[in-house]
Amino acid sequence: MTTLHLPIDRSTGVPIHRQVYDGFRRAILDGLLRPGQRVPSTRALAVDLAVSRLPVLTAYDHLLHEGYLDGRVGSGTFVSSAVPDDLLRSPGAPAATVRQGTARQVPGPHPPASGENGLGPFRISLPALDQFPHAVWDRLVARHTRALTAQQMAYGHPAGLLPLRAAIAEHLRAARAVRCEAEQVLIVSGSQAALRLATAVLLSRGDRLAVEEPGYPGARAALGAGGAELVSVPVDEEGMNVDSLRRRGRRVRAAYVTPSHQYPLGTSMTAARRFALLDWAFRRDAWVLEDDYDSEYRYVSRPLGALQGMDAHQRVIYMGSFSKVLFPAVRVGYVVAPPTLRQRFVDAREAFDLFPPSLYQLVLAEFLREGHFARHLRRMRGVYLERRDALLTGLDRHCGDRLTVHNADAGLHLAVLLSAGLNDGDVVQRMAGRGLAATALSTCYAGTVRRNGLLLGFGGSPPRRMLDATRVLGEVLQARRSRSVAGGATPGR
Ligand SMILES: Cc1ncc(COP(=O)(O)O)c(C=O)c1O
């Protein structure tokens, strides 16, 4: 608990206990102290204010009695989470007017916790948080928290902790055929940070960067904010159209792609396209930014190796994230930089925010080294396969003629195309009203030619809930279609 700013003036003649009481009351009513916030112990506050403990005890007694504070045996004293109504309406009202039993919940300092729309069925980008191996993770977090050495508490290397970088390099070589050494790996706080770093290193004023159309809005946002002038290049069944990329001219210095599992449509880039893209980069002295965000999960055939591993000329900057394979709030991702760019990435990282926080890096390094990560991935493949199948079954059963599944081969979401007369933005809005959090495919386009569809996440909810959710989706689609038929709406693309 921080020290309270509670001015005590001995010259006024107002008793100390009254000054303490008034100070707390004012701070609570002014919102300086928030519901649920811990306040100092009476002993600590007496020391801080340089007064004896008795007046502080008397003030706390009143504040507790009147409902401003809440005492929890063994865990301290807190600002009450239910401050009486009368007090909030008239801050100056005397304490005597406070009536017990008319309490109202006051919003705390934190935003509301993610509700159903934040975590519910169809939410994209969510792994199976209910299946996370808490026991082993908690044990490692506790172990490293307790045993932090002075060295680990001091400034770290801009690229991150070497044991973690080595463990990631080992995993990427084996699982994704990425050609890399630990020295090339930089730990970052996720894909957004990786993309910002890449723009800082690779681009100069006036340079252009090609992105997929449709593509990942998060990447557009990060790359655009990094100062790149973005050029959309269409994606077809084979991936980014490299002929179209070539025609965009020489100012295009880099291309951002999701070759293993195109976001949002789900296709994987064919070998021919991969070689064409690498050839483009080599001939133009340009770069490829490979976002390998959820390639660990593939349901129909063996995962393709990374584009990076096929590149003989080291033009690929590879990036990945633990958001999907562990959980997003861990905020750990990585960049594998070609040897020629490694030092520039390290320098840019240092200029940006020095180095990544150490604690989760230590935990993750051990999580990987002890084999928990590999075990978790293996187990999750089965979990996601079951969830995906439940989604496909439900879509077939409840939504059959109103949508077409575009691709469900990999990842934690699938794309569906809506049939004529259905508008995806409208459908998503209606779904939100029923507690379902789908994403409109049209939001992934930068241009005006857009397909109407939905991205349906299946990673975050168990099969039973997926099935229930498809029934609700079927009802929403039916209602929208009946409405559009009645209203003579123009067909969707
Ligand atoms: C295409 C793509 N790249 C990367 C990520 C991971 O982002 P981050 O590492 O910032 O959590 C996601 C998450 O949804 C994604 O969809």
Q: What average pLDDT score do residues 241-257 get?
A: 97
At 316 the pLDDT is 98
Mean pLDDT of the chain: 89
The Å distance, Cα 322 to ligand 1 centre, comes to: 9
Is the peptide bond prior to 357 cis by the omega test (within 30 degrees of 0)?
no
At 1 the pLDDT is 58
Which structure tokens are listed for 400?
């059959």
Q: What share of the chain is helix, strand, coil (3-state, %, to 5)?
A: 45, 15, 40
User: What's the CA angle centered on 452, arms 447 and 456, to 5 degrees?
Assistant: 115
* Percent of the chain whose pLDDT exceeds 70: 90
Q: What average pLDDT score do residues 131-135 get?
A: 97
Residue 197 predicted with pLDDT over 70: yes
Q: What average pLDDT score do residues 230-252 get?
A: 97
Check if 291 has its Cβ closer than 6 Å to any atom of ligand 1: yes
At 110 the pLDDT is 33
Nearest residue (by CA) to ligand 1, atom 14, is: 125
The Å distance, Cα 433 to ligand 1 centre, comes to: 26
Intrachain domains 16-105 and 157-357 with the same fold: no
The Å distance, Cα 282 to ligand 1 centre, comes to: 27
Distance CA(378)–CA(381), nearest Å, equals 5
Q: Which residues contact 168 (CB under 8 A, 6 or more apart)?
A: 182, 185, 187, 334, 368
Q: pLDDT by residue (tens digit) across 408-429?
A: 999 999 999 999 999 999 999 9
The Å distance, Cα 211 to ligand 1 centre, comes to: 15
Q: What average pLDDT score do residues 272-280 get?
A: 97
Counting runs of H as helices and runs of E as strands, what totals does the chain give? Answer: 17, 17
Q: pLDDT by residue (tens digit) across 33-82?
A: 888 888 888 998 898 888 999 999 999 998 998 888 998 767 789 888 87
Residue 32 predicted with pLDDT over 90: no
The Å distance, Cα 24 to ligand 1 centre, comes to: 45
Residue 107 predicted with pLDDT over 70: no
Edge-to-edge strands of the sheet including 239-240?
A: 185-188, 333-336, 316-321, 287-291, 252-257, 208-213, 229-236, 239-240
Check if 321 has its Cβ closer than 6 Å to any atom of ligand 1: yes
Where residue 461 falls (left for φ over 0; alpha for ψ -120 to 50; beta otherwise) is beta
What does the chain come to in residues? 493
At 48 the pLDDT is 81
Segments making up each domain of the chain, as ranges: 16-105, 157-357, 375-487
Edge-to-edge strands of the sheet including 38-39?
A: 38-39, 76-79, 69-72
At 90 the pLDDT is 41
* Percent of the chain whose pLDDT exceeds 90: 71
CATH code of 16-105, in short, is: 1.10.10.10
At 4 the pLDDT is 73
pTM of the model: 0.82
The Å distance, Cα 293 to ligand 1 centre, comes to: 6
Nearest residue (by CA) to ligand 1, atom 13, is: 125
322 Cα nearest atom in ligand 1: 9
Mutate to test the pocket of ligand 1, among 122, 124, 125, 267 (most ligand atoms within 8 A of CB): 125
At 483 the pLDDT is 73
Q: Which CATH superfamily is domain 375-487 in?
A: Aspartate Aminotransferase, domain 1 (3.90.1150.10)
Check if 125 has its Cβ closer than 6 Å to any atom of ligand 1: yes
Contact between 338 and 278 under an 8 Å Cβ cutoff? The reply is no
Nearest residue (by CA) to ligand 1, atom 5, is: 293
Which of 14-28, 68-82, 175-189 has the weakest average pLDDT? 68-82
* 337 or 6, which is more confident: 337
The Å distance, Cα 262 to ligand 1 centre, comes to: 12
Q: What is the CATH topology of the domain spanning 157-357? A: Aspartate Aminotransferase; domain 2 (3.40.640)
Alpha carbon separation from 239 to 138, 215, 235, 312 (Å, rounded) = 40, 11, 5, 20
At 85 the pLDDT is 44
190 Cα nearest atom in ligand 1: 9
pLDDT band of 227, cuts 50, 70, 90: confident
At 269 the pLDDT is 95
pLDDT band of 203, cuts 50, 70, 90: very high
Which of 42-51, 250-259, 380-389, 461-470 has the weakest average pLDDT? 42-51
Mutate to test the pocket of ligand 1, among 189, 261, 324, 360 (most ligand atoms within 8 A of CB): 324
Mutate to test the pocket of ligand 1, among 129, 187, 191 (most ligand atoms within 8 A of CB): 191
The Å distance, Cα 45 to ligand 1 centre, comes to: 46
Check if 262 has its Cβ closer than 6 Å to any atom of ligand 1: no
Q: What average pLDDT score do residues 384-398 get?
A: 97
Q: pLDDT by residue (tens digit) across 136-169?
A: 999 999 999 999 999 999 999 999 999 999 999 9
125 Cα nearest atom in ligand 1: 14
Q: pLDDT by residue (tens digit) across 160-171?
A: 999 999 999 999
